[in-house]
Structure 1
């Protein structure tokens, strides 16, 4: 009876040892590998955020090519963000509402990733005529924006508004980018190195910044 008990205990111990050494690490590896951020396509997003011309698309969405001008009067294109992870948003320099917490929160992200060359930031003015290069330069100095790390940009209004609606899915209301069109959005959009949307967040909420940081760090793991 005791011999049988000890034999059974021996086999149980061997099984548990094997499970601890082999099975648990394998399980952990599988869980870790499977933990990835979603890839957002037009059909995955609230239809109100997506231009009706592309709402039916279910795959292969990427941010379109762009050409903007930053706070230093330099041309900024998708080539400046090639092979980079970045956070994009839409703002205007004289905004006294949601843009203030958004800017402060983006500053926090900039500070966290200031020494990480893989991470950049891109802000698009929704009042590009008012936000001239000198206005953006003054704004960038006021906010402590790091040149080369964070571009605050102006450009053609129709181009910027089309990016908001057809590339970043950042705006609820429809429009054509004309004189009377105006967008005001709190969204921060996380873009991966392949120009795909991997996260969308309320940029006015400080508590969301840790989630963005965590998601960026997780996204970096995909490219190792």
Structure 2
């Protein structure tokens, strides 16, 4: 059974205000089902950067070069032939980010022995979230570094990824000094670097 087969609207346009880790778990546990693939034209235009709005090209996640909590370089090679859930956060966020981290932790624990399932968190305040800060954050959330990369890097690159690759941010911007993204979205990426599922983060945990 396709989990999303009876939805009236394309999944990316639906706001799951009460989404919890259980939904993410269900999606991954049901991954053998043929889930829909999403391209730029399938999304609410507000979530698609103006540079790629209306594109009919097959969409894949762009290459990236990030630094994780262990001061190691993280690229697409770390996620080659992997299914992964991505999110955007910042360590000083007191509101939704802790809930997102808790749900990422639940996913980590559920799929701990599944080598082809991984997690990726990208800081939207990379100037503040140094490697040492990320290390403390990862320890606080019991992140297993071989499973869950919590990363920082070049701000423009991260913001381009959020807007042009993961379609995770509504607002437009250039990744400059005053640009700020605060997105509550999770994105499921398949082994072909394609977008499988887009979900709002929870306002409560299970």
Which one of 177, 185, 188 corresponds to residue 186 of structure 2?
A: 188
For the 8 Å contact 1:44–1:58, the answer to whether it is kept is no
| C-alpha distance in 2 between matches for 1:158 and 1:204 | 27
After TM superposition, the structure 1 = structure 2 runs for residues 108-147 of structure 1, keeping only pairs within 5 Å, are: 108-147=106-145
For the 8 Å contact 2:66–2:152, the answer to whether it is kept is yes
| C-alpha distance in 2 between matches for 1:153 and 1:204 | 22
What does residue 151 of structure 2 align with?
Answer: 153
Structure 1: any 5+ residue segments left out of the alignment? 1-33, 210-224
Higher RCO (C-alpha under 8 Å, 6+ residues apart)? 2
| C-alpha distance in 2 between matches for 1:41 and 1:58 | 8
Report the CA distance between 1:60 and its aligned residue: 1.1
Provide the TM-score with structure 1 as the length reference: 0.76
What does residue 12 of structure 2 align with?
Answer: none
Q: Deviations over 1:4-59 (max 9, x none)?
A: xxxxxxxxxxxxxxxxxxxxxxxxxxxxxx95211010000010000111111134
Q: Deviations over 1:113-145 (max 9, x none)?
A: 011000000000000000000000000000000
Which one of 101, 104, 111 corresponds to residue 103 of structure 1?
A: 101
Report the CA distance between 1:100 and its aligned residue: 1.1
Provide the TM-score with structure 2 as the length reference: 0.82
Seen in structure 2, the aligned counterparts of structure 1 residues 141 and 185 have a Cα distance that, compared at 3 Å, is same
Which one of 61, 64, 67 corresponds to residue 63 of structure 1?
A: 61
| C-alpha distance in 2 between matches for 1:35 and 1:126 | 33
Structure 2: any 5+ residue segments left out of the alignment? 1-31
